[in-house]
């Protein structure tokens, strides 16, 4: 795309080189380790499903049985049990739910186990490739029918069946993307509940059955509306790779999946998070799922003007982590937000500078732009004005994914009419200014261009500092979002495991080969 900001390509390249250097040591650590949730995700890809009488999921039962033996990989013992019992995967799942201890079975011939595992990998890859082909066929069939940027809304009733009603209504009103917010604190559960759920606080449990129910409901809307509706959930928290696996199996289209969000905002151990995020992103890459990163969250704890460079720095780091997991730019929904104080003089110009800068630095990425939240007060009239300006900035700067601002932000979980008004506002603003971006240029020495150059330079300096100390020590020092997280503390650290010399994970091997890693 043609640059309107005259940004230094040399400094952009310098930032990318620094991001590569910063991420490198973290990836070296990641490649030597696994986690309990990586192992459970692997089991899910192999078909492990169901739960025991107490509701403990089969993948958790298997991994819990293998405490102290995970260095070999949980799949080795699961496949061994499959061979030993001689039944189907469904039969084995039922037996494990009924009390079978896979750790108690002596290991059989390695070659036989590898052959059986290869069958499971083949079943997985056929299913996910079919999901990908279906999505691509529908998007081609209805090409040009979605809005640009994609209009994104959330549902969060706690009841999956009520969620489907609200999601269908939103899609019929014009939404292109529907996200199902997870129930409060699910990111801190070290298991994924089983089956459909009808109770949740501030959201609905992410389960594979809930994914299936919502996808089926939206698929009906796709056919009626003649427009592909993208389904989103959250591959984050202690079960990040498992939720990515479920999303791949049930044809979700987007996943919130940030490299540092769980560390900074959920106090999840950084070692655990970095290992989990790579495997989850490999699954997303193979499934063709767009990731949405969480840079907008930095601006809830830091000032959007003073710390704008931390957002851009995180985008560079998320980009590098994504490349390392096989994600192409078209699947990198790098995040940012319209979160400056609305009383700030020339604040709108600074917001446009940030958005246009991100658009020019990451031209192929479907950038995810987040709405005003921090300064929403409950005054719906002022909120409407702020959201209208946000809609204007998004269209003007060519964002890819546009999370709609709600009039009732900071008051209550949105009602269906709130979403209707938000969609109506966005469609009105964006329709009336459809071609404006092609009509205007920015002064090369004006407020917008100078602000973008300033933030880029601050980002390079910041990345140089991070490169000097290392990413993990920088997180410990509170260099991101003004939040300090010690490397040897945080939730989930006990779930980290160094891989042994005989570590067995043919799904990981398959994904690396398929993604060219």
Q: Are 97 and 64 in contact (CB under 8 A)?
A: no
CA separation for the pair 166, 162 (Å, rounded): 6
Which residue in 285, 368, 361, 279 sits closest to 30, CA to CA? 279
Instruction: Give the per-residue SS3 of 231-281.
Output: EEEECCHHHHHHHHHHHHHCCCCEEECCCCHHHHHHCECHHHHHHHHHHHH
CA dihedral (376, 377, 382, 384) positive or negative: positive
CA separation for the pair 455, 208 (Å, rounded): 41
191 labelled catalytic: no
Q: Are 346 and 447 in contact (CB under 8 A)?
A: yes
Q: What is the DSSP letter of 493?
A: G
Q: 398: alpha, beta or left, given left = phi > 0 and alpha = psi -120 to 50? A: left
Query: Tokens for 112?
Result: 């036989």
Q: Are 151 and 175 in contact (CB under 8 A)?
A: yes
CA separation for the pair 53, 99 (Å, rounded): 10
Q: Strand 254-256 vs strand 290-292: parallel, antiparallel, or unpaired?
A: parallel
Catalytic residue among 228, 296, 323, 503: 296
Catalytic residue among 77, 261, 298, 309: 261
CA dihedral (197, 183, 262, 128) positive or negative: positive
Q: Are 312 and 293 in contact (CB under 8 A)?
A: no
Q: What is the DSSP string of 363-412?
A: TTS--EEEPP-TT--S-HHHHHHHHHHHHHHHHHTT-SEEEPP-TTTTTS
Q: Are 464 and 316 in contact (CB under 8 A)?
A: no
Q: Are 161 and 198 in contact (CB under 8 A)?
A: yes
Strand partners, 233: 255
194 labelled catalytic: no
CA–CA–CA angle 301, 306, 310 (5° rounding): 70
| CA 240 from centroid of its chain's CA atoms | 9
Give counts: helices (H), strands (E), the chain. Answer: 20, 11
CA separation for the pair 409, 111 (Å, rounded): 58
488 labelled catalytic: no
Catalytic residue among 368, 395, 453, 491: 368
Residues involved in catalysis? 261, 296, 368
């Amino acid at each position: 795309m043609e640059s309107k900001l005259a940004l230094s390509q040399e400094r952009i390249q310098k930032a990318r080189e620094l991001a590569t250097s910063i991420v490198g040591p973290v990836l070296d650590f990641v490649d030597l380790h696994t986690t309990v949730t990586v192992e459970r995700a692997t089991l899910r890809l192999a078909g492990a499903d169901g739960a025991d009488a107490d509701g403990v999921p089969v993948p958790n039962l298997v991994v819990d049985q293998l405490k102290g033996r995970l260095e070999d990989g949980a799949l080795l013992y699961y496949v061994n049990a499959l061979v030993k019992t001689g039944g189907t995967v469904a039969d084995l799942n039922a037996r494990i739910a009924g009390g079978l201890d896979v750790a108690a079975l002596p290991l059989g011939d390695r070659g036989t186990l590898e052959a059986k595992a290869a069958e499971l990998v083949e079943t997985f890859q056929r299913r996910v490739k079919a999901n990908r082909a279906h999505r691509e066929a529908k998007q081609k069939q209805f090409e040009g029918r979605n809005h640009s940027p994609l209009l994104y809304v959330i549902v969060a009733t706690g009841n999956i069946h009520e969620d489907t009603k609200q999601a269908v209504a939103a899609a019929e009103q014009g939404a292109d993307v529907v996200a199902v917010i997870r129930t409060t604190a699910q990111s801190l559960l070290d298991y994924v509940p089983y089956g459909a759920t009808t109770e949740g606080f501030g959201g609905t449990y992410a389960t594979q059955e809930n994914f299936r129910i919502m996808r089926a409901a939206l698929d009906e809307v796709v056919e009626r509306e003649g427009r592909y509706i993208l389904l989103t959930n959250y591959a984050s928290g202690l079960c990040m790779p498992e939720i990515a696996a479920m999303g791949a199996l049930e044809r979700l289209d987007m996943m919130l999946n940030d490299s540092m969000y769980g560390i900074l905002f959920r106090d999840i151990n950084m070692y655990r998070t970095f290992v989990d995020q790579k495997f989850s992103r490999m699954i997303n890459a193979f499934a063709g799922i767009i990731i949405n990163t969480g840079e907008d969250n930095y601006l809830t704890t830091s000032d959007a003007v003073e710390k704008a460079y931390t957002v851009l720095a995180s985008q560079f780091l998320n980009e590098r982590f994504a490349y390392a997991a096989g994600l192409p730019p078209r699947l990198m929904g790098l995040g940012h937000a319209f979160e400056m104080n609305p009383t700030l003089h020339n604040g709108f110009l600074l917001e446009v500078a940030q958005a246009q800068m991100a658009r020019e630095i990451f031209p192929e990425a479907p950038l995810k732009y987040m709405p005003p939240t921090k300064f929403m007060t409950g005054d719906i009239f002022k909120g409407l004005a702020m959201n209208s300006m946000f809609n204007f900035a998004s269209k003007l700067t060519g964002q890819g994914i546009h999370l709609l601002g709600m009039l009732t932000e900071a008051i209550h979980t949105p009602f269906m009419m709130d979403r209707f008004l938000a969609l109506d506002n966005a469609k009105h603003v964006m329709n009336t200014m459809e071609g404006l971006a092609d009509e205007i240029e920015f002064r090369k020495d004006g407020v917008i261009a100078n602000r973008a150059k300033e933030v880029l330079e601050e980002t390079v300096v910041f990345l140089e500092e991070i490169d000097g100390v290392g990413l993990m020590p920088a997180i410990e020092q509170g260099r991101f979002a003004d939040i300090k997280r010690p490397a040897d503390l945080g939730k989930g650290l006990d779930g980290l495991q160094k891989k042994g010399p005989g570590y067995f994970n043919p799904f990981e091997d398959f994904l690396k080969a398929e993604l060219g890693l």
